Amino acid sequence: MALFTRPAPAPETWTPQGTLVSQRYRALEDATVLVYTADAGRGTARYAVACLGCTYREDRNASGNVMTEPDAAQAANAHATACRAVPRGIPARPTDAAAAKLIRTRLWARRYGTAPHQVHIADFHTLRVDLQRPTEWIKALLTGIAQADPGFLTATPTSSGQGIRFTVQPFDRP
């Protein structure tokens, strides 16, 4: 046995950085399914579901609306009763560069269209288990992207002056 080893937390008790896990479900082969939010202190929290055994991630209900906790619990339970994935443990925390790439990829997909697309921090709910980063880190990254490439992402103060509004700009169409 090696000295000074630190055991990794079990998936049954792990909480990804930047989230609040409210419920956990056990899938058929013991993979853990998380119900979580990243909306600490907001009026109406938005929830998401992630399976730690497979790639299942969801933040919208069957009607396409954002999930409340009961919606997320229902989705997690439905997934857990059908998922045959074996536990894979806790996902490795990506490097800052890899996490930034996940966010840029999500933003890039919003460029297809003719109108600018407003970005909300909640747009990254399904990525939170994979990102393992707090909201402040995501906001700082978005600010950096907006400063480096304003033709891709713009940052403007909100009308209240209390925050920043990020907007993905569409591709220039000739």
Along the 174 residues of the chain, how does pLDDT read in single tens digits? 444 444 445 667 888 888 999 999 999 999 999 999 986 555 678 999 999 999 999 999 989 998 999 999 999 999 999 999 998 888 899 999 999 999 999 999 889 888 999 998 888 888 999 999 999 999 999 999 999 999 999 999 888 777 889 999 998 755
Q: Is the separation of the CB atoms in 58 and 66 below 8 Å?
A: no
The CATH code that applies to domain 96-168 is: 1.10.10
Kindly state the DSSP code that residue 3 receives in the 8-state scheme.
T
Distances (CA, A) of 106 to 53, 68, 127, 160: 22, 22, 9, 27
pTM comes to 0.83
